Amino acid sequence: MITSRDNPRVKRWAKLAQDPRLRRKERRALIEGPHLVALAEPLVLLASESGLKRKEIQDLLAGREAIVMADRVFKAIAEADTPQGIAAEIEIPEPGAPVAPAVFLEGVQDPGNVGTILRSAAAFGVKAAVLDGACADAWSPKVLRAGMGAHFTLSIQETDDLRDAIGNFAGRVLCAVPRGGLNLAEANLSGPIGWLFGAEGAGVSPGLQTIAAQRVTLPMAPGTESINVGAAAAIFFYAAFCAESPPWQGGSELASGGCR
């Protein structure tokens, strides 16, 4: 059992949780909690001394070797306020070219929003996500927690040239704007599409708006200016999901009964 925070491995895992540059350099990330660990293919399993007493963690570790840490040492690598007793080092997968349906994010800096968008994207059949350099790091602990496992079903790419990524996308890109776009109910959501969302407040930059195939607006009650980008993204994803596979036309079992 590791009992010192000065242990070199502990220092590295703590830095892996905090430093996006190290994550990008090593293509490694740190995940925390039974839910994420159960979905991943860990390179190294890490457990706290008290965590080993929990049946959920005992079942998860059955037949697998884990590095055990004293509770106060485990807290050095845990980002959650209340550590869940188990963590893992994983390899960040190399993304392929984004395929439709896809989502493109420009400057979404809040980790909770990024994770929420990824979670909703996975829930409604989106296959790929592309984030520009101004977004919160997709593999940070806060984004991973908010994503609730979406990282393991999506192809996630981080790029310094979102314009180029959109230009190389084999499909139509629809840009979400708070006002002045085509009403979502009237938009053509058929065929391979990608969604483009911008930061809270600033929205999608004018330059990227010009290369989108269509600007789309979510109708809202009078007197309401906008809603959270994570909430808006979920509505757009849902609309496209139902348009692509409506249950009344023998569509996806995932959509069965849910899109009427």
Q: Is the same domain home to 196 and 142? A: yes
Q: Is the same domain home to 84 and 117? A: no
Query: Residues, the chain, total?
Result: 260
Structural domain boundaries, residue 240: 102-255
Pick from 37, 57, 91: which residue ends a domain?
91
Local structure of residue 164 (DSSP, 8 states): H
Report the predicted TM-score, pTM, of the whole model to 2 decimal places. Answer: 0.91
Distances (CA, A) of 96 to 27, 41, 138, 193: 15, 19, 16, 17
Percent share of the chain, pLDDT over 90: 85
Q: Which of 153-157, 199-203, 249-253 has the lowest mean pLDDT?
A: 249-253
Mean pLDDT of the chain: 92
The model's confidence at residue 108, banded by pLDDT at 50, 70 and 90, is: very high
Does the pLDDT of residue 60 top 60, yes or no? yes
The model's confidence at residue 251, banded by pLDDT at 50, 70 and 90, is: very low
Pick from 60, 91, 122: which residue ends a domain?
91
Task: Give the mean pLDDT of 16-30.
Answer: 96
The model's confidence at residue 259, banded by pLDDT at 50, 70 and 90, is: low
Pick from 91, 121, 154: which residue ends a domain?
91
How many domains does the chain fold into?
Answer: 2
Does the pLDDT of residue 33 top 90, yes or no? yes
Q: Is the same domain home to 155 and 228? A: yes
User: At CA 75, angle to CA 71 and CA 79, rounded to 5?
Assistant: 150
Q: Is the same domain home to 235 and 112? A: yes
Q: Is the same domain home to 106 and 73? A: no
Q: Is the same domain home to 74 and 117? A: no
Does the pLDDT of residue 245 top 70, yes or no? no
**Surface-to-core class of residue 6, CB atoms within 10 Å of its CB (0-12 exposed, 13-18 middle, 19+ buried):** exposed
Q: Is the same domain home to 25 and 143? A: no
Report if residue 192 sits inside a domain. Answer: yes
Does the pLDDT of residue 253 top 70, yes or no? no
Report if residue 1 sits inside a domain. Answer: no
Report if residue 54 sits inside a domain. Answer: yes
Whichever domain contains 150, its CATH number is 3.40.1280.10
Q: Is the same domain home to 87 and 113? A: no
